[in-house]
Amino acid sequence: MVLANAPEVTKFPAEMKRINKAKASDIMVLIMDLKALKIVNPLAVSIAIRHIISRRRQTLLSVLAVALAVSISVIFTSLVNGQQQILTGLVEEKLPHVTVEPKQGDDFIHLYKSLLDRIASLPGIKSYAASLSTAATLSRKDKTKNALLKGSNPIDIDRIYKIDDAMIQGDFGSIQQARNAVIGQTLAESLDLKLGDKMAATFPRARGTELTVTGIFNTGTPLDDLVVFVSMDTGRNFRDEGDVINAVEISLQDIGQAQSLAGLISTWGYNAMSWQEKNPEIMQAINIGGFWTRFSVLLFMVVAFFGVASIMNLLVVEKTREIGMLMAMGARISDIRDIFLVESALLGLIGAAVGSALGLAGVLILGKVPFEIAAGGREITTLPLILNPWDIVLLIFFVVALSIVAALYPARNASRIDPVIALRGG
């Protein structure tokens, strides 16, 4: 097999005589085998491996460049995955996935029981709750605050918002009693309300009502500053309405089906919205996180791309005489090109493997760093890092493909070298 650093020659015939016959024979056998193999080029693989082993310094630089880019990408992707998991977890656990509102032009849903039966018969429904919500001005002494008064069955609505798990004082089920109210902690603090205190609820064209605070919750969501939960009868009395509702909130087994289900219910004539439509800020945050992940990974890979391309260009210059020797012995243009493509792909694969291992270690170490924050009603004590194995697999494929692309121009130049000029040192 040809040595990594071929001796300097001045004349083509003389050089051919100095080549070891056994090694020359091995090369010719490999070239003959190449003609029978359309997928794997053993000549290219053999010489590429020899280059990688013999050029240790350049190999180390290439592998480190790729490994650094991959490891940072793995850690950054895991961090964004963790943040997105918090947002999707908030949607899954504490928000309705589909909200059904009255038909266009109507203020209420009158025959709502038949609607509830139709919703219950749909596949994938986890739970649902009818409610009557209305704006209200809450006041106590000299303090006032606008809020949303939501009348509902406490058992049904708790399956949607999980308020009972977020209670810090009182009992959520207490709203079943007339004129009892469960209020968010932020709203309670702004009105200086404590358990057992009374507050007035008023609004134009509504029947003024005095409510007793029987519970305070903290979900870590905007509900804490916006919503007051009461019984369905209390809500209807406040609105001075009969047996009507103005919303049905649905929780699904798979939140990914929200848009299709909303579309189906909309064909019934109701105004149905998925959580993506109802909470565009959450969807925007998820999309922005995904964009920055892809952009950052691409940026890291571009840096590695130019590093590999530079080293492959340098390799072509260093191995000019060896390229000429191979071509003089019968190697085809495609064989020469494949040598550099295979070498670049191997460097990318090794770098990606090392980078993945370093990234995994980084995720495990950073995952133990104390990091206390409250998000979506959850107490997070460590950095939210989620490692998706498919991210690593896709990253490795992407790196190898990018490494091959980085070697295309150097490989093209190598395959166009004139063997006679190369052997003469031209």
Least confidently predicted of 138-142, 199-203, 253-257, 408-412: 408-412
Q: Looking at the domain assignment, is residue 7 inside a domain?
A: no
Q: Looking at the domain assignment, is residue 6 inside a domain?
A: no
Q: Over pLDDT 70: what percentage of the chain?
A: 85
Domain co-membership, 244 together with 289? no
Lookup: tokens for 63: 């592998």
Q: Looking at the domain assignment, is residue 2 inside a domain?
A: no
Q: How far apart are CA 264 and CA 267, in angstroms?
A: 5
Q: Rg of the chain over CA atoms, in angstroms?
A: 34
Tell me: pLDDT of 24 over 60. Answer: no
Residue 424's φ and ψ, nearest 5 degrees, are: -85, 0
**Confidence bin at 344 (pLDDT 50/70/90):** confident
Tell me: pLDDT of 23 over 60. Answer: no
Tell me: pLDDT of 403 over 90. Answer: no
pLDDT for position 413 = 75
Domain co-membership, 413 together with 335? yes
pLDDT for position 373 = 62
Instruction: Characterise 124 by phi-psi region: left (phi > 0), alpha (psi -120 to 50), beta (else).
Output: left
pLDDT tens per residue across span 351-399: 899 999 999 999 888 888 776 665 555 566 677 788 888 888 988 888 8
pLDDT for position 128 = 96
Domain co-membership, 114 together with 151? yes
Domain co-membership, 205 together with 274? yes
Tell me: pLDDT of 9 over 70. Answer: no
Q: Looking at the domain assignment, is residue 5 inside a domain?
A: no
Q: Looking at the domain assignment, is residue 180 inside a domain?
A: yes
Domain co-membership, 336 together with 376? yes
* CB proximity list for 56: less than 8 A, separation 6 or greater: none
pLDDT for position 40 = 57
Q: How far apart are CA 255 and CA 191, in angstroms?
A: 36
Q: How far is CA 11 from CA 15, 50, 267, in A?
A: 6, 25, 84
Range of the domain at 402: 12-90+284-423
Residue of 322, 343, 295, 321 whose CA lies nearest to 421: 321
Domain co-membership, 261 together with 115? yes
Domain co-membership, 236 together with 305? no
Q: Looking at the domain assignment, is residue 112 inside a domain?
A: yes
Burial class (CB in 10 A: 0-12, 13-18, 19+), 48: buried
Residue 160's φ and ψ, nearest 5 degrees, are: -90, -50
pLDDT for position 426 = 52
pLDDT for position 28 = 46
Q: Looking at the domain assignment, is residue 313 inside a domain?
A: yes
Domain co-membership, 163 together with 28? no
Domain co-membership, 78 together with 109? no
Count CB atoms within 10 A of the CB of residue 189: 14
Q: Which domain-ending residue is among 224, 253, 278?
A: 278
Q: Looking at the domain assignment, is residue 184 inside a domain?
A: yes
Residue type at position 314: L
Q: Which domain-ending residue is among 258, 278, 298?
A: 278
| Structural domain count, the chain | 2
Contact 2, 339 (CB under 8 A): no
Least confidently predicted of 25-29, 58-62, 257-261: 25-29
Q: How far apart are CA 289 and CA 389, in angstroms?
A: 19
Domain co-membership, 115 together with 260? yes
Domain co-membership, 195 together with 102? yes
Q: Which domain-ending residue is among 219, 246, 278?
A: 278
Domain co-membership, 191 together with 71? no
Lookup: tokens for 274: 């998925």
Q: How far apart are CA 409 and CA 315, in angstroms?
A: 12
